[in-house]
Amino acid sequence: MMSEHYDSYYQETDAGRRKAMLDAMEKENTADQMHSLRRELWTLRYVDKKTGRRVDLFLWELVELLCLYNTARLMKGSARRDAKKALEALGASAAAGYGKEGETVLYEELCNALRLYLHTCDSKSYHKRLFGLSELKEEDWQRKVARDIWRLSEGLPKRLGMTEDFAILSKAARDTFCSRFANGEALLQEKEELERGKDKKQ
What is the domain partition of the chain in residue ranges?
A: 4-119+133-201
Average pLDDT over residues 164-174: 98
Q: pTM value? A: 0.90
Q: What is the DSSP letter of 131?
A: G
HSE of 152 in the Cβ direction (CA atoms, 13 Å)?
A: 30
- As a whole number of Å, the end-to-end CA separation of the chain is 48
120-145 pLDDT, tens digit per residue, is 887 665 656 544 545 678 888 889 99
Which amino acid belongs to residue 119? H
| ∠ CA 77-176-89, rounded to 5° | 40
Q: Residue 1: pLDDT band by 50, 70, 90 thresholds? A: very low
Q: Report the mean per-residue pLDDT for the chain.
A: 89
Contacts of 81 by beta carbon, 8 Å cutoff, 6+ apart: none
